[in-house]
Structure 1
Amino acid sequence: MTNQALKVKLLIVEDEILLANDIANRLSDNNYTIVGIADTATKALDLLSKNQDIDMLLIDIVLKGDRDGIELARIINDTYNIPFLFLTSHADSYLIERAKSVRPYAYLLKPFNDRQVSIAIELALKNFAIKIPERQILGKKTFSPTENQVLQIKDSLFLKKNQHFERVPIEEILFLEADSNYCTVYTRTDRFMYSVGLNKIEAQLPQDRFLRIHRSYVVNINLVDGFEGNMLFIGDNKIPVSKSHKETVFRLFRTI
């Protein structure tokens, strides 16, 4: 996969064009891909229909046109299975109650800075991945940008690299390797290191595709090229199979 394909793809829905362009520039500088900018809900829905790989939306609550951002969010909930966060400079109780009704996954109060934008995006992805929307839209956040984040959304893992997330299709993951208190995720084109245990990341992977073959290794069984003795070959890598897992592993490959 190309580096461009790994970038998280965002749609900005904001009718203040100068602000929208500013947000787009900030996010582009932080390795996010901006699929488009829409100043109305209608334009946003058109862009969504033409770009099925959009990962997330940033939506201004107050939009010009027949639908505001809350009504757009309701359509996204009903039609698309993707996260969104709200942008707003309004804090009146009626608007907040309406916004809470569509279960946003994060929010940004205008004005905001680069750090706040990045944290809000990470928070929304995290909340969406664990299916916990931001019910208290102005509530206190417990998210820290220094947290180790491994998020599963649809058929991809969102993996943290250099202070931003990259979207890695699960089918692109070769194997996981544990080393002391660290775990490294190896993909076809890159690797991601985390200061978490192997079990935590293994739990995010589909059990029918990934198999523990050693206390330090979990492999994508669909990408095993061959084996010899107690070693599995995955691309240019030789992965050891421990005695305790050997019977289970090689019984599986004898049945393929």
Structure 2
Amino acid sequence: MTPMILFTLTTFESGQYVDFEKVVCITGDGNYSFIHLVDGQKLLVSKCLEQLELRLPPSQFLRIHKRYLINLRFVESIFPKQIKLTDGKVYAVARRRWPSVHSYFKQNSRR
């Protein structure tokens, strides 16, 4: 089976391919983003979060904050205005995004 390729990453060392399934979350920092992988690696790329978000399937990734984009497959629990991922990290949900994020999880927990 061919892995689903996220995009070619041009890191400071070389180009790499990243499988969607291995991305836990992406955190933005201005014109750079950190891609957090299942194995604990953290890759720095020179693309803003908005550019990366356009390349991701919206059914699998959710923007919860101007700085955070999470892979829904790695959500462990949801708290008021926070989401904990399976890597143990807790991410804040932006105040204006909270109603839609909360609604999303409420609807999908019934399935």
TM-score above 0.5, yes or no: yes
In the alignment, the residues of structure 1 paired with residue 16 and residue 74 of structure 2 have an alpha-carbon distance, to the nearest angstrom, of 21
Residue 207 of structure 1: SS of its match in structure 2? coil
1:232 is aligned to 2:75: no
1:203 aligns with one of 54, 65, 69: 54
Matched, 1:246 2:98: yes
Q: Which residue of 1 aligns with 2:15?
A: 165
* Percent pairwise identity: 22
Cα distance in 2 for residues equivalent to 1:183 and 1:161: 11
Distance 1:164 1:170 in 2: 19
Which of residues 174, 188, 204 in structure 1 aligns to 2:38? 188
Q: Deviations over 1:104-126 (max 9, x none)?
A: xxxxxxxxxxxxxxxxxxxxxxx
**Structure 2 residues not aligned, in runs of 5+:** none
**Higher share in strand:** 2
Give the distance between the partners of 1:226 and 1:209, measured in 2 at CA.
Answer: 16
**1:228: how far off?**
1.8
2:5 to 145, 153, 156: 156
8 A contact 1:160–1:192 mirrored in 2? no
Q: Distance in 1 between matches of 2:103 and 2:29?
A: 27
Counterpart CA distance in 1 for 2:19 and 2:47 is 20
Q: Is the 2:32–2:48 contact (alpha carbons within 8 Å) kept by the matching residues of 1?
A: yes
Larger Rg: 1
Change (3 A) 1:238 1:176: same
How many residues are matched? 105
How many angstroms apart in 2 are the aligned matches of 1:171 and 1:217? 17
CA contact (8 A) 1:185 1:192 kept: yes
Q: Is the 8 A contact 2:33 2:48 kept in 1?
A: yes
Instruction: Tell me the distance in 2 between the aligned counterparts of 1:246 and 1:222.
Output: 19
2:60 and 2:73 in contact (8 A); partners too: yes
Greater share of residues in helix: 1
CA distance in 2, matches of 1:181, 1:225: 29
* Higher RCO by CA contacts (8 Å cutoff, separation 6 or greater): 2
Query: Residue by residue, what CA displacement relative to the aligned partner does 1:75-116 show, whole Å, maximum 9, x if unpaired?
Result: xxxxxxxxxxxxxxxxxxxxxxxxxxxxxxxxxxxxxxxxxx
RMSD of aligned alpha carbons: 1.8
**TM-score scaled to structure 2, two decimals?**
0.83
Letter in 2 for 1:159: L
| Partner Cα distance (2:102, 2:21) in 1 | 21
**Using the alignment, how far apart are the partners of 1:160 and 1:195 within structure 2?**
8
